[in-house]
Amino acid sequence: MEGKLIIICAPSGSGKSTIIGRIINDERLRLAFSVSATTRPRRGEEVHGVDYYYLTEEEFKKHIENDDFAEYQEVYPGRFYGTLKSEIARINADGKNVVLDIDVLGGMNVKKIYGDHALSIFIAPPSIEVLRERLIKRGTDSMEDIERRISKAEFELGYSDKCDHMVINDDLETAVAEVHHLVDTFVNPNWEEE
């Protein structure tokens, strides 16, 4: 059986990593995380091959030339992020559904390619102010990076209605339950009818 794709679009600091971490542990959903390639530097405890494949700009551009990406974006000026076709193939070959944590423009491109095989969910912070507080509290980015992320979040929020669903992460447990329900219904459609 061909696996499905779950596209999670969310500004950084919206709690998406926590939400993804929680739903990916449910074996019933048969999910596996697509590790993206990026040219941004490693942050905190991140691990190559687990959080991202950290590439130089030259390596990244080589992959573009070779048509290795299902999609890629310059998410921040000079910082590239992309989904390797080989990641999707690897996860599909394992009989699993692919979870993509990508920006909203990348998400729209994947949705265009995979159509009904893909479900896109936008996770929004309750407000830009709450997002700023969360990013400051996280303590992993410089103030300059935080402001860059805030303007990107404002931009992405403008596209949130292009996703199939939007979940507001005000209360974490509620947001996890909502995302879980959406994914479960999508990957196990027949189970719900029983």
Which of 19, 32, 33, 73: binder of ligand 5GP (CB under 6 A)? 73
Q: Tell me whether residue 73 or residue 120 sits nearer to ligand 5GP (CB atom).
A: 73
Token pair belonging to 144 = 């300059």
* CB-CB contact of 5 with 29 (8 Å): no
d(CA 77, CA 139): 21
**Residue tagged 């490693």 (tokens):** 42
Q: What is the distance in angstroms between the CA of the first residue and the CA of the last residue of the chain?
A: 21
| Nearest distance from C-beta of residue 102 to ligand 5GP, angstroms | 4
Site string for ligand 5GP, 83-102 (x = CB under 6 A): x-----------------xx
What number of chain residues touch ligand 5GP (CB under 6 A)? Answer: 13
Beta bridge partners of 124: 168
Those residues with Cβ within 8 angstroms of residue 78's Cβ, 6 or more apart along the chain or in another chain: 39, 57
Which of 22, 24, 30, 40: binder of ligand 5GP (CB under 6 A)? 40
Q: Does 125 bind ligand 5GP (CB under 6 A)?
A: no
Residues that bind ligand 5GP (CB under 6 A): 12, 36, 40, 71, 73, 75, 81-83, 101-103, 106
